[in-house]
Amino acid sequence: MVGTENLSRKEQVIRTAAELFKEKGYAATSMRDLANALGIEAASLYSHIKSKEEILQHLCFDMAEKFRNSLEEVEKADNSFSKKLRLGILGHIQVMAQELTASAVFMNEHRHLSDPHLKAFLLLRINYINRFKKIIEGGIKSGEFKKLDTKLAVMTLFSSLNWMPHWYDPSGIIEPIELGNQLADMLIDGLQTK
């Protein structure tokens, strides 16, 4: 595993599992697959984790916290709604760029969480989306943004942002900040009253 030598064994297990979940899917990844990828016996995994789902819970809830935290300062700052939306988009992109593999698992594999974890995760996700919706609603009330369906606007926003783990190449020519600004330009231009 590249880049895992300074991590604790549990962190190595979680990162390796994230790569397998992204590549094969959560359901198709076995504990034996994970042990083989780590070069250890399957039974040894249980000294680091309780179950495959514990890994998924860790990945999903850790990413949810990172996304939530990226928005806190944005909401507190005294900026225009356009600026808040831009900074929110940039924060979202930065979190994804720093954790591309975990982001892909977060977006695609969360459905394998069992209750009550799935319900708690979905509530966190709805809350996060609603915080962006509130920024858009504020922009409409202030006259900064056009009067439009805020649910459509926020779903379009997240549809654009959340595909990033599938196509973004961190070794490519575009840096996350530039990518975020280009996406923000396209998305915010469609909302502004001009």
Q: Same structural domain for residues 61 and 16?
A: no
Residue 2 has pLDDT above 90, yes or no: no
Residue range 14-27: average pLDDT? 95
In a domain, 1, yes or no: no
pLDDT tens digits for 57-79?
Answer: 999 999 999 999 999 999 999 99
| Cis peptide bond upstream of 170, omega within 30 | no
Q: How many domains does the chain have?
A: 2
> Does the reported pTM lie above 0.85?
yes
Q: Same structural domain for residues 127 and 181?
A: yes
What confidence score (pLDDT) does residue 140 get? Answer: 95
pLDDT tens digits for 108-141?
Answer: 999 999 999 999 999 999 999 999 999 999 999 9
Where in the sequence is the domain holding 17, given as residue range(s)?
9-45
* CB 175 within 8 Å of CB 98: no
pLDDT tens digits for 138-159?
Answer: 999 999 999 999 999 999 999 9
Residue 10 has pLDDT above 70, yes or no: yes
CA dihedral 43, 44, 46, 49 (to 10 degrees): -140
Residue 3 has pLDDT above 70, yes or no: no
